Amino acid sequence: MELRQATHLTPFSIKIGEEPNVFGNSSETYSDRVHACIATLIYGGKAKYFDDSGRANLFERIGIGNIRNNLMTLDMSFIEKEKEKQLAFLNKIFSE
């Protein structure tokens, strides 16, 4: 089996506050940071997560619990339904 070097993957460091811009414009993110994966996913990209942090339970909640093993994308219709539920809940609380 021949191994090829991926020339399009470049490790880098970013400043605080740049995450949404950098990861939101990424088509794929491979990271040990939950927020990096989430920013890429919510903007329609793919992500793979490399850590055992308890924060990663979020991925189970949004239907991509296998993100540690595979490059994943979000089901945006699921996200829209969850957003509608949250808005309904907040409307109920603030209208009482």
Question: What's residue 83's pLDDT?
Answer: 93
Domain extent listing, the chain: 19-95
Question: What's residue 44's pLDDT?
Answer: 92
For residue 8, name the pLDDT band (cuts at 50, 70, 90): low
Predicted TM-score of the model (pTM): 0.72
The structure tokens 């470049």 sit at 10
Average pLDDT over residues 49-78: 92
Contact 36, 29 (CB under 8 A): yes
Runs of H (alpha helix) within the chain: 19-24, 34-42, 57-61, 76-95
C-alpha 90/C-alpha 10 separation (Å) is 42
